[in-house]
Each structure stands twice: as structure tokens, then as C-alpha cells.
Structure 1
Amino acid sequence: MGDAALTPEEHAEFLLDLVACAAAEAFTDSYYYTLEKSRDKISSFYAPKTVGPDNTTPSIAWNSILYNEGSSFQEYFEGLTHTHFELESLDVDVLNPKFLPASDLLGGSNNDAEDHDRRMSIAIVVTGCVRLEEPLKGPMREFAETFVLIPNREKQLPPKPSFEKGWHQEWLIQTQNFRFTEWGATEVGDAKSEGTKVPTGPRNVFQGRNQGVAKHFAAAGLTIKGKGKA
């Protein structure tokens, strides 16, 4: 079943999903590489600090430790020993296609019904494994991480943005939550096994807003699943 079977609304949603998935893949490739190899650039992935009446962003929760600036999280991560990430799955959803007001988009049409591919906020859920402390050996620990990305107001993106030349902070992290989903024996008291799973409930998976569109997306081979680059 091709695009001709989609309604105009579904087709527009499908095109947004394509951009969101391409952005998520480019973002995660660049972000996790930076965590390993270029830690002095970590802060460039985060939105500027904003203090509101109810919350402060960016909100970065890394294994229950909260940071409210990309620079403070970078300082923390620069103090860690070696880390190696292997990504296993990547789930993506468009949260708000009109997150950025049309009047604030550089080079935009100033029409609220247009430019959603450059104005949307994006939710990303990553699962995988990380090795801490040792570069080449040692146990891998499972983790899950969620991001909300918002448009970078200082970037002028072309319509239907692509990421063939890599990630250049087209979207920035507004919120982030990292948690281990598997703990080592030394972290769970009297556990005797090498690793003990901690019940965490079902993993966060964004189901999408329209199953018909999701089926077209999967049939086109564009659903992002399986091994990612780290």
C-alpha cells in the first residue's frame, strides 16, 4: 500500500515522522560518540538554561542526579572514567509539531500551518548497554534513556531538513532522563549473582498516533529498530 492510500493529514504526519526519525538517528549517533570521545562538546547539545515559575530547563536526570545546565552535566561526565555505549533500540515520536511559534522560525513562512518539520519537538527513547570504567572489558549494564528535543532557535534549517552531513545541533535537549535497568551484584546488597535485574515495569515505547501510518512506515523499512551506532 503506497502513499496514495493516505489522507492528506496522514501524509503530512508521515513526512514529519520521516524527518523526526532521521533527526533522532543523527542525534544519537553524534551524542553518544561525544559522550565517549569529545566530552568537551557535551554542553553544545543542550538548550540554554531557562528558569520558569514551575520548572527549570534543561532538566537532566542522570541516574537520579539532577542537573539544570548542559555545562554542569558536562563537568560531571568529564570526571567519569571510560564509557562505552552500545545502542539496541530507538523509538521516536513527534510531540508537538508547532512547538516553535511560526514567527520565531528563522527563514520560515510565518504561517502557523506550515514549516512543522522545522518547528516540532521530538521525543526519543533509547535502550542499550553501557560499559563503565574499563575500555575493552568488563560487564555491560542495560540502560534506558529518554530525551525531548526542541528546535534550536539560532539555526536556520532548510525545508525538509536532512542529516546527510551529520548532526549540527538543529534540535537541542530540553529534558533527559537516564536510568540503569540492570544493577550489578555489589549494588543490590546480598545479591550473589553477577547481575541482578531490577523490576522497572514496561519499557517506554512511543506507540505513534496512527497505526495505519505506522504500518506504512514499517513497510518502507524506516522504523528505527535494532543496533544503533555508538
Structure 2
Amino acid sequence: MFAPNEDTLTKVSTDAAMEFVQAFYTSLQSNRGSISTFYSPATSTILFNGNVVAGGAAVQDIFVSQMPPTHYEVQSLDCQVINQKYPTATATGVKRAAEKSAKDISILVTVSGYAKFGVPKNVPQRVFSETFVLVPAPTNSLGGVAKGKGGKGWLIQSQNFRLVV
């Protein structure tokens, strides 16, 4: 199998970043009970304003039980491939080299925008910056996303959120 070229990697990573950002921030606003499904079980680091959070379930708990309703307005996003040969998991182990595809990569995604915490329309906007490392979700024997991940093709391995202002 041939290695994907730069154009293919750019398209795959850009499409993945855009799809992920749309789904993730929509869930933060209106489906907080699904937030943990965005995280890899092998999450390495999650930081919110310099505070370590234990994992996807802990992030979900913060948003469900501690955060007021929040509106996010993404102003920009960017991405780049970190690892072109990420060892993608399957239901039975790790993919062999002959099974690899252009989606077997890890991606750095940076997002910035505005967040409003609370319901009133006159709540001030806060600027935020967020960085993610996304990895491909494990696949089943048919090449589809493994059950239990909500059909998400990319999962958060690492995340750093920071309110800027």
C-alpha cells in the first residue's frame, strides 16, 4: 500500500478537524451528557485553565453538574498532522501496515473564539483558546468505528483549554 500524499493528508486532517469542532462544541452547548464519548480511553492530558482533569467522564461531570449553560462561537480553527503512521487500534489489536489508510494519523487542532457562560444575553463574552490532539477511533472488523464511541471517527487524546481574557 502506498503512503498517502501531502494533499490527501491535508484534506483528511482538515475534514476531521472541521467535523470534530462542529460536533464537540455543539455537544458542549446542547448535549452535555455525550461529552465523554469524545475522549479516547487512553487520554493522556486534559487541562482546563491549568487544572488537570482526570478524563472524559470527569470533563462531562464538570459540564453537566458545575457549568452554567454555555454558548461557544468558534472564530478560527487550524490543524496539522502530527503522526502520519499512528498505530490505529482495531477491535482485535493494532492495524497491520497493509491495512493502513490516510485516516491512520494523529492531528493537532487549535481552536479560538468566544464563550458566554450563563443564560442572559448581556453576559460578557470571554475569549478562549483550545488545543486538541485527535487520534482515530478504534475500528471494528468491518472497518467501521467500534461500538461505544457514538460513531465518532476521531477521539481526544490530549486537550488544553484556556480562557484568554
Q: Which range, TM-score by smaller chain? A: 0.7 to 0.9
For residue 170 of structure 1, report the CA deviation from its aligned partner.
0.8
Q: Structure 1 pair 109/62, CA: closer, same or farther in 2 (3 Å)?
A: closer
Indicate the percent of aligned positions where both proteins have the same amino acid: 34
Task: List structure 1 segments (4+ residues) > 3 angstroms apart after TM superposition.
Answer: none
For residue 105 of structure 1, report the CA deviation from its aligned partner.
4.8
- For residue 47 of structure 1, what is the aligned residue in structure 2? 40
For structure 2, the 5+ residue unaligned runs are none
What amino acid is aligned across from residue 143 of structure 1 in structure 2?
A: F
For residue 119 of structure 1, report the CA deviation from its aligned partner.
1.1
| Structure with larger Rg | 1
Pick the structure with more strand per residue.
Answer: 2
What amino acid is aligned across from residue 110 of structure 1 in structure 2?
A: R
What amino acid is aligned across from residue 170 of structure 1 in structure 2?
A: G
- For residue 98 of structure 1, what is the aligned residue in structure 2? 85
For structure 1, the 5+ residue unaligned runs are 1-7, 51-56, 159-166, 183-230
Is 1:13 aligned to residue 6 of structure 2? Answer: yes
> Among 104, 113, 135, which residue is 1:119 paired with?
104
- For residue 69 of structure 1, what is the aligned residue in structure 2? 55
State the alpha-carbon separation in 1 of the partners of residues 128 and 77 from structure 2. 12
Q: Structure 1 pair 41/135, CA: closer, same or farther in 2 (3 Å)?
A: farther
State the alpha-carbon separation in 1 of the partners of residues 135 and 157 from structure 2. 6
Is 1:23 aligned to residue 16 of structure 2? Answer: yes
CA contact (8 A) 2:47 2:53 kept: yes
SS of residue matched to 1:119:
coil
State the alpha-carbon separation in 2 of the partners of residues 150 and 111 from structure 1. 17
- For residue 128 of structure 1, what is the aligned residue in structure 2? 113
State the alpha-carbon separation in 1 of the partners of residues 161 and 134 from structure 2. 15
- For residue 81 of structure 1, what is the aligned residue in structure 2? 68
For residue 152 of structure 1, report the CA deviation from its aligned partner.
1.1
CA contact (8 A) 2:74 2:113 kept: yes
State the alpha-carbon separation in 2 of the partners of residues 35 and 58 from structure 1. 21
CA contact (8 A) 1:82 1:135 kept: no
What amino acid is aligned across from residue 32 of structure 1 in structure 2?
A: Y
CA contact (8 A) 1:94 1:123 kept: yes
CA contact (8 A) 1:123 1:149 kept: yes
CA contact (8 A) 1:46 1:58 kept: no
RMSD value, Cα: 2.5
Is 1:153 aligned to residue 141 of structure 2? Answer: no
- Relative to the length of structure 1, the TM-score reads 0.61
Kindly provide the CA deviation profile for residues 153-183 of structure 1, in whole angstroms up to 9, marking residues without a partner as x: 145349xxxxxxxx8311110000000111x
Question: Aligned residue pairs: how many?
Answer: 156
State the alpha-carbon separation in 2 of the partners of residues 109 and 152 from structure 1. 12
TM alignment of 1:180-195, pairs within 5 A: 180-182=163-165
SS of residue matched to 1:153:
coil
